[in-house]
Chain A
Amino acid sequence: QQQVKQSPQSLIVQKGGISIINCAYENTAFDYFPWYQQFPGKGPALLIAIRPDVSEKKEGRFTISFNKSAKQFSLHIMDSQPGDSATYFCAAIMEANNNAGNMLTFGGGTRLMVKP
């Protein structure tokens, strides 16, 4: 069961443009939504994260927008740079659930290419 759906699968953006990646989730018990960035040959690394009690979180050029009623959240990369070219994964977890089986559920990933 795919609990976190991510789109688009791939994205090409010109340098300086805005990259937008969207995710939708099904389980309303999810209460923590991180984004991971993965470069070729490397493991995913935490980029930015948000909890559903806020609608937006900004860190530098990266912003998460969160719509709790629609069960959707998105990553915006402002002034995209060639160095941002990577695969981005959204994820979700029930942070408040301390029982066994609390797992991070990943979206399918978006391969971003920023053209110079």
Chain B
Amino acid sequence: GENVEQHPSTLSVQEGDSAVIKCTYSDSASNYFPWYKQELGKGPQLIIDIRSNVGEKKDQRIAVTLNKTAKHFSLHITETQPEDSAVYFCAARSNDYKLSFGAGTTVTVRA
């Protein structure tokens, strides 16, 4: 089955700096890679996703890159703000139904 590894497990950045989270996946058949933000006591919220037919996608301060050859994808948050503090999960989908999640990255933005 698919195995998703995520690094780092914790990330502390100064407000205004950039944050980068990296994930690798094992199943070359995976074709959909969403990123979720989870705030304390809430469910995962989709913030951005990328499909295997593109290499990069950007939405305001958030961007995701995908390297299919190396089987890794990354989340980039620029100009971080305190409200970006949360747990971020990457995930990969290798079949029609199942998402496999990474272990999560706790991001803390210091004011």
Whether chains A and B associate is no
Q: Which residues of A contact B (CB under 8 A)?
A: none
